[in-house]
Amino acid sequence: MNKEDMILMSVDDHVIEPPDMFKQHLSATELAKAPTFMTDDAGMNFWVFEDRKVVNVGLNAVVGRPKSEYGCEPTALSQIREAAYNIDKRIDDMNADGVISSMCFGTFVGFDGGFFVGAKDRTNATRMVKAYNDWHIDEWAGAHPGRMIPLAIVPLWDNLACVEEIKRVVKKGCHAISLPDNPTVKGLPSIHNEYWDPVWAICDELRVVVNCHIGTGYQPPHPSMESPINSWITSMPISIANSAADWMHLAALGKYKNLKISLTEGGIGWIPYLLERADFSFEQHNQWTNMSFGGKKPSEVFREHFITCFIDDQFGIKNYADIGEDIICFETDYPHSDCVWPRAADVLWDSVKDLPERVINKVTHLNAIREFSFDPLSMLGRENCTVGALQAVARRDGVDTSVVSSGGHNPHAEAGGRVVTSGDLVKLFAANVGEGEGASTEAS
Condensed to tens digits (0 to 9), the pLDDT of residues 169-186 reads 999 999 999 999 999 999
- Per-residue pLDDT at 443 exceeds 50: no
CB 196, CB 154: distance < 8 Å: no
What pLDDT, on a 0 to 100 scale, did the predictor assign at position 272?
A: 98
* Position 53 in a domain: no
What pLDDT, on a 0 to 100 scale, did the predictor assign at position 408?
A: 60
For residue 402, what is the domain's CATH number? 3.20.20.140
Question: Domain range holding 267?
Answer: 3-35+84-422
- The total number of structural domains in the chain stands at 1
- Per-residue pLDDT at 106 exceeds 90: yes
What pLDDT, on a 0 to 100 scale, did the predictor assign at position 374?
A: 98
Close Cβ partners of 366 (under 8 Å, ≥ 6 residues apart): none
- Per-residue pLDDT at 436 exceeds 50: no
* Position 46 in a domain: no
Rounded distance, CA 48 to CA 56, Å?
Answer: 12
Close Cβ partners of 377 (under 8 Å, ≥ 6 residues apart): 7, 365, 369, 385
How distant is the alpha carbon of residue 207 from its chain centre? 19
Whole-prediction pTM:
0.95
* Position 54 in a domain: no
What pLDDT, on a 0 to 100 scale, did the predictor assign at position 410?
A: 61
Q: Please calculate the CA angle 150-94-396 and round it to the nearest 5 degrees.
A: 135
The CA-atom distances, in angstroms, between 425 and each of 65, 219, 281, 412, 432 are 19, 15, 37, 9, 11
Condensed to tens digits (0 to 9), the pLDDT of residues 204-258 reads 999 999 999 999 998 888 999 999 999 999 999 999 999 999 999 999 999 999 9
- Per-residue pLDDT at 441 exceeds 50: no
- Per-residue pLDDT at 331 exceeds 50: yes
What pLDDT, on a 0 to 100 scale, did the predictor assign at position 439?
A: 35
* Position 47 in a domain: no
User: What share of the chain has pLDDT > 70, as a percent?
Assistant: 94
What pLDDT, on a 0 to 100 scale, did the predictor assign at position 442?
A: 35
CB 332, CB 97: distance < 8 Å: yes
Distance spanning both ends of the chain, measured CA to CA = 46
Rounded distance, CA 127 to CA 112, Å?
Answer: 16
52 three-state secondary structure: strand
Mean pLDDT of the chain: 93
The residue type found at 52 is R
What pLDDT band is residue 416 in, cutting at 50, 70 and 90? low
What pLDDT, on a 0 to 100 scale, did the predictor assign at position 162?
A: 98
CB 30, CB 129: distance < 8 Å: no
* Position 431 in a domain: no
* Position 71 in a domain: no
Condensed to tens digits (0 to 9), the pLDDT of residues 63-90 reads 999 988 887 777 889 999 999 999 999 9
Condensed to tens digits (0 to 9), the pLDDT of residues 212-224 reads 999 999 888 899 9
Across 421-438, average pLDDT = 63
What pLDDT band is residue 145 in, cutting at 50, 70 and 90? very high
* Position 378 in a domain: yes
What pLDDT band is residue 265 in, cutting at 50, 70 and 90? very high
Condensed to tens digits (0 to 9), the pLDDT of residues 12-52 reads 999 999 999 999 999 999 999 999 999 999 888 999 999 88
What pLDDT, on a 0 to 100 scale, did the predictor assign at position 153?
A: 98
* Position 440 in a domain: no
What pLDDT, on a 0 to 100 scale, did the predictor assign at position 430?
A: 65
Burial 255-266 (b: 16+ CB within 10 A, else e): ebeebbbbbbbb
Bridge partners (DSSP) of residue 136 are none
Across 343-366, average pLDDT = 98
